[in-house]
Amino acid sequence: MKFRRLLIQEWAAATGNYLWSGWGSLASLCIFMAIWELTAQGFGPLILPTPLDALATLARLFEAGEAGPEILITARRALAGFGLSVAVGSLLGLAAGVSMTASMMARPIITVLVGMPPIAWLILALLWFGAGDGTPIFTVFIACFPIIFVGAMQGTRTLDGQLKEVAQMFGLSTWMKLTDVYLPHVVSYLFPAWIAALGMSWKIVVMAELLSTEDGIGAALAVSRSHLDTAASMAWIVALVGTLLAIEYLLLEPIKRKVESWRTL
Amino acid sequence: MADAMTMTAGQLRISGLNHRFGYQRVLEEIELSVKANEAVAIVGPSGCGKTTLLNLAAGLLTPWEGRIANGFARPAMMFQQPRLLPWKRTLDNIALGLKARGITTAQRNAEVARLALKMGLTVEDLDKFPSALSGGMQSRAALARAFAVQPDLLLLDEAFSALDIGLKSELYALLAAERAVNGSAVLMITHDLMEAIRLAGRIGRVSYCSDRTFETIEVIAE
Instruction: Read off the pLDDT of residues B110-141 as tens digits, 9 standing for 90 and up.
Output: 988 888 888 888 888 888 888 888 888 888 89
Are A162 and B75 inside 8 Å of each other by CB?
no
Return the residue of B nearest to A174 by Cα.
B100
pLDDT > 90? residue B191: no
Who wins on pLDDT, A14 or B140? Answer: B140
Show residues of chain A in contact with B77, CB under 8 Å: 169
Question: CA-CA distance, A55 to B3, in Å (whole number)?
Answer: 86
Q: At residue B160, what are phi and psi to the nearest 5 degrees? A: -110, 5
Which residue of B81, B100, B124 is in closest CB contact with A176? B100
Nearest to B100 among A3, A162, A171 (CB): A171
Summarize the confidence of residues B75-85 as an average pLDDT.
Answer: 89
The pLDDT of residue A85 is: 95
Asked if the Cβ–Cβ distance from A163 to B149 is below 8 Å, we say: no
Among B72, B87, B123, which would you mutate to test the A interface (most chain A Cβ atoms within 10 Å of its Cβ)?
A: B87
pLDDT at B171 over 70: yes
Per-residue pLDDT band at A31 (split at 50, 70, 90): very high
Start-end of CATH 3.40.50.300 domains in chain B: 1-74+152-222
**Based on the domain organization, do A26 and A150 belong to the same domain?**
no
Answer for the pair B156, B188: CB distance below 8 angstroms, yes or no: yes
B158 CB-contact burial (10 Å; exposed 0-12 / middle 13-18 / buried 19+): buried
Is residue B222 pLDDT above 80, yes or no? no
> Looking at beta carbons, which residues of chain B come within 8 Å of A173?
100
HEC string for A43-54? HCCCCCCCHHHH
**pLDDT computed for residue B212 by the predictor:** 52
Task: Map residue A96 onto helix, strand or coil.
Answer: helix
Quote the pLDDT of residue B1: 38
Chain B residues whose beta carbon lies within 8 Å of the beta carbon of residue A181: 85
Q: Do A29 and A119 have their domain in common?
A: no
Q: Which domain holds residue A13?
A: 1-43
Same domain, A93 and A162: yes
Q: Which of residues 147-206 of A touch B (CB under 8 A)?
A: 162-163, 165-166, 168-173, 176, 180-181, 184-185
Residue A244: band (very low, low, confident or very high) from pLDDT cuts 50, 70, 90: confident
Instruction: Based on the fold, state whether residues A54 and A185 are members of the same structural domain.
Output: yes
ipTM of the complex: 0.83
Q: Give the span between the Cα atoms of A82 and A148, in whole angstroms.
A: 10
Q: What is the pLDDT of residue B190?
A: 86
> A169 with A80, same domain?
yes
**Between A166, A185, A262, which is nearest B129 by CB?**
A262
Cα separation, B30 vs B15, whole angstroms: 6
Chain A partners of B79 at a C-beta cutoff of 8 Å?
A: 162, 165-166
User: What is the arrangement of strands in the sheet containing B11-21, beginning at the earlier edge strand?
Assistant: B65-70, B11-21, B24-35, B213-221, B202-210, B39-43, B185-190, B153-157, B75-78
Residues A159 and A82 placed together within one structural domain of the fold: yes
Examine the domain organization and report whether A9 and A96 are in the same domain: no
Do A75 and A202 sit in the same domain of this protein? yes
* CB-CB under 8 Å, A162 with B100: no
Q: Given CB atoms, is B204 within the 8 Å cutoff of chain A?
A: no
Question: What is the structure's pLDDT at A2?
Answer: 59
- CATH code of A106's domain: 1.10.3720.10
B129 lies within 8 A of chain A by CB: yes
Give the gap in angstroms from C-alpha A155 to the nearest C-alpha of chain B: 15
Note whether A94 and A132 are same-domain residues: yes
CA distance A171 to chain B (A): 6
CATH fold of B1-74+152-222 reads Rossmann fold (3.40.50)
Nearest residue on chain B to A263, judged by CA atoms? B87
pLDDT score at B219: 66
Count: domains in chain A: 2
Residue from the list A171, A172, A262 with its beta carbon closest to the beta carbon of B86: A262
Verify that A29 and A149 share a domain, yes or no: no
Q: Are residues A81 and A189 in the same domain?
A: yes
- Residue B97 touches partner A, C-beta closer than 8 Å: yes
A157 and A209 co-located in one domain: yes
Q: Using one digit for the tens of pLDDT, what is the confidence trace for A49-87?
A: 888 888 888 888 888 887 888 888 888 999 999 999 999
Q: How far is A105 from chain B (nearest CA, A)?
A: 24
**Other residues' Cβ atoms within 10 Å of the Cβ of residue A244:** 17
